[in-house]
Structure 1
Amino acid sequence: MARRRLHATLLAGALVLAACGGDGTDDRFAITKIIKDGGRDPATICDHLSDPLRRRLGSVAVCRRAAKAAPATRRTVTIDRLTITGDRAAAAVTGGDGRTRITFVKDHGSWKVLSTR
């Protein structure tokens, strides 16, 4: 009886751990949150810039100023497609500015915006 209980406990623990990662759920959640938060407040995207994009823009401060200066558009965004392959991801997003493709790279465990088109 005790052996069965131990086996069931270990099996339940393994199932919980398997549910927490490995299937991309956490990655999908993280990327979706970056996109949705950026739809509500574009300046939040500036906190998730990859190093190459940050260098291309000049700095996070430049990004924030540009986000605040941009005309207000519809703040709702829809993620039409999200594909994650290893440490790269691409999202097709529709928002107030039309359709945009956002690419991401995973850097030290965090998703960063690599480019937008």
Structure 2
Amino acid sequence: MIHVLDEIVVSAKDLPAVLDLLQERYLGTSSARALTLLNRWVSPPIAIPGEPNTLWLLWQLPGVLAYYGMRAATGPEVIEFWSAVDQLAHRRRRHVLTGADQPLPEPMEALDAV
């Protein structure tokens, strides 16, 4: 199982626009790329004047091949979505995670396991 954690730093006033973009332009096509949104959070849980908030989006993919398949299936609609988010965000980062309870395979071993 692979998890993807998107960290989007955005002004509180722009948070609703980012969530609208997510709903209208990304979620409809994410399942076709094997990407499932598990949760979304905002930190801090209040709007502090002059301080940004961080939107966290937690996604799940079934495995390593699905992760690389998702990346290969990125089309113009995905690029347009992230470009629109970048216009609103201060910055963003994507973290790709897997469980820490087992040894990490070498890249070719991960492909052979599928």
Question: What TM-score comes out, normalization by structure 2 length?
Answer: 0.30
**Structure number with higher helix proportion:** 1
Q: Which has the higher contact order (CA 8 A, sep 6+)?
A: 2
Question: What TM-score comes out, normalization by structure 1 length?
Answer: 0.30
